[in-house]
Structure formats: C-alpha cells, structure tokens
Amino acid sequence: MSAGSTRPVSPEPVGVGVTEIALVRHGETEWNRTGRIQGRTDIPLNETGRAQARAAAATLGGAWAASYSSSLGRAEETARIISDALGVGFAGTDQALVERAHGEVEGLRAPDRLARFPHGAPVPGYESDAEVVERALPALRRIASRHAGDRVVVVAHGGVIGALLRSLTGGAVPAPGQYAGNASVQTLHVHDDGAIRLVEAQLASRV
C-alpha cells in the first residue's frame, strides 16, 4: 500500500453479491488552493484539478461499468474526465452526494472561520455528519443496486467522504487531522444485503 493508505478489512472478490465503488473526491479548485470553504458554492476545477482527475483515472485503471457524481460542477467535471480516460459512460448526477452545507462559514478561510466561530461554537446552517450520512449512504446503495456485482466510480466531496468513512469505520478513518485530499480514491464494497465496508482508504491528493 502507498503512504497514507489504510486497508481496514480484507477485500471480498467483486462479483455475485458484492459491488465495488471507487469513491473519489473531486479535483482541486481555486477555492481549495486558497483555503476557502466551498460547501455548496459551485466552484469549477482549475487546471491542477483536471490533471488530478486524469491521475485518479490512471490509478483506477481496469474495467468499470459507469461513473456518477454529485450535482455540483467540480464533481461532475472530475467524473467526466475519469470516464473519458477509462472509456466508460458517465451515468449522471445525484443531488444526495452534494457537499456538506457549511452555513455561515461558507466562503471563509480557516482563520476567519475561527474568529467568527471559535472551536466548539455552533455554526448556523452547518450540516452534521449524521445528516450527511443520512442522505449520502442511501445514494451509494442506489448506485450499487444498478450495477450489482460490477465496479462503479462515484465522485463526491471531502466533507461527504469524511462523514461516510467515519460512519463506516466507527470514527477510525480518517484519523484526527486527516481528510480526503483532492482526487483521492477510497474503495468500498457494497453487499447485496446493503452492508457497506471500507476496503481501502487512500487519502492523499493526486498530484
């Protein structure tokens, strides 16, 4: 495994009863580069982000059935770049995969956020992990059910991916201070009974 990679469980073979999802964070945007909180603001990829998407596709390789994304443009463009590189169809967007709402801190940089809302202070309009998981986990199950026994790419956002991984691992992944970097790839297995397991987390950004 590469640096920054964790493998929480032994992978089951993809096929009857198991669908693989490559859960990818979108590539870099200018707000990512300058440290601004994006949330639901629809900021497009920059050139680094497009290169990261191509690098993610090269990492994925192999045969995939389809790709999906959140309905925000940065995620959709990442998915389409990956689809083109892999030669698979882009199957559409899902509103349930959009980034976590950040409420009144959206658009701020970290120092400004802390100045307005010190650690532990509630942020009006901020979406909790539980709220994110409640909408995003069923979306993954819906996508998996359309491609049972196959492999699918799903492009989402750092806040969504972090909330999902914490839910799936009881808070073990990501570790405190870690997050899913731009165009990083997390491998999930979705079972026919609806159980979802994290097989491998590769949290580092694609360069």
The response to whether 146 counts as a known ligand-binding position is no
Q: Report residue 169 CA to chain centroid gap.
A: 15
Q: What is the pTM of this model?
A: 0.93
Question: Tokens 């009974």 belong to which residue?
Answer: 193
The response to whether 28 counts as a known ligand-binding position is yes
Give whole-number Cα distances, 88 to 15, 64, 71, 91, 189, in Å.
19, 7, 19, 9, 20
Query: What number does CATH give the domain 5-101+128-202?
Result: 3.40.50.1240
Residue from 20, 76, 77, 99 carrying the catalytic annotation: 99
The response to whether 27 counts as a known ligand-binding position is yes
Residue 77: active-site member: no
Residue from 26, 102, 147, 157 carrying the catalytic annotation: 26
Residue 76: active-site member: no
Question: Residue 190: how many CB atoms within 10 A of its CB?
Answer: 22
| Alpha-carbon torsion, ordered 55, 57, 58, 59, to 10 deg | 90
Residue pLDDT tens, the chain, 207 long: 444 556 555 567 777 799 999 999 999 999 999 999 999 999 999 999 999 999 999 999 999 999 999 999 999 999 999 999 999 999 999 999 999 999 999 999 999 999 999 998 999 999 999 999 999 999 999 999 999 999 999 999 999 999 999 999 999 999 999 999 999 999 999 999 999 999 999 999 876
Task: Report the sign of the C-alpha dihedral through residues 11, 195, 176, 160, in that order.
Answer: positive
Domain ranges, ordered by start, for the chain = 5-101+128-202
